Structures are given as structure tokens and as C-alpha cells.
Structure 1
């Protein structure tokens, strides 16, 4: 997952975790003609 949001068990406040989309996924999606939505963090393809 690019982004994970879960509620804190005691406070109920949401914790957010984000990670770049891995290079192999960026390359594979591009090869299939896919486009990424704005705001998605991508690792630079090699």
C-alpha cells in the first residue's frame, strides 16, 4: 500500500504512514501505459 491510515487504539486519532511506490512497480505500470494520480510519491525509475 502506498498509504496506510489507522486509528490509534487509545486516542482514536489517525496515524498516517506513506511510502514511495517501488521502482519495479513504477516501471511495470509505465510499461502497461498506466498513469499515477497526483500526490503519489514515486521512486525514480532506474
Structure 2
């Protein structure tokens, strides 16, 4: 899977171009969204089923 150069431009296939690694921002987004979902579901459970 070597990239080639044509006239000073790197040419990759679409599969090669999509092979980026998810960085720490993706992990932070997943963590925050999961935490918020748990918090919201906990509040809904407390309001409707604990009273």
C-alpha cells in the first residue's frame, strides 16, 4: 500500500485516504456523551419512578 507521487501531489486510493486514526478528541466526545446520557437517564428515572 505505497502511495505514489505525481507532479508533486500524493496520490492515494479512497481506502488509503480514509485510514485515519481517531484522536483523543473522539475518545473525549464518546466519554462526555456517554456520561451525559447516563446522567439524563438517571434524572428521568429519579423524577418519574422514585417519587
User: In which range does the TM-score fall when normalised by the shorter chain?
Assistant: under 0.3
Q: Which structure carries more helix by proportion? A: 2
Q: Tell me which structure has the larger Cα radius of gyration.
A: 2
Q: Quick check: which one's strand share is greater?
A: 1
Q: Higher relative CO (CA 8 A, sep ≥ 6), structure 1 or 2?
A: 1
What TM-score do the two structures reach when normalised by structure 2? Answer: 0.25
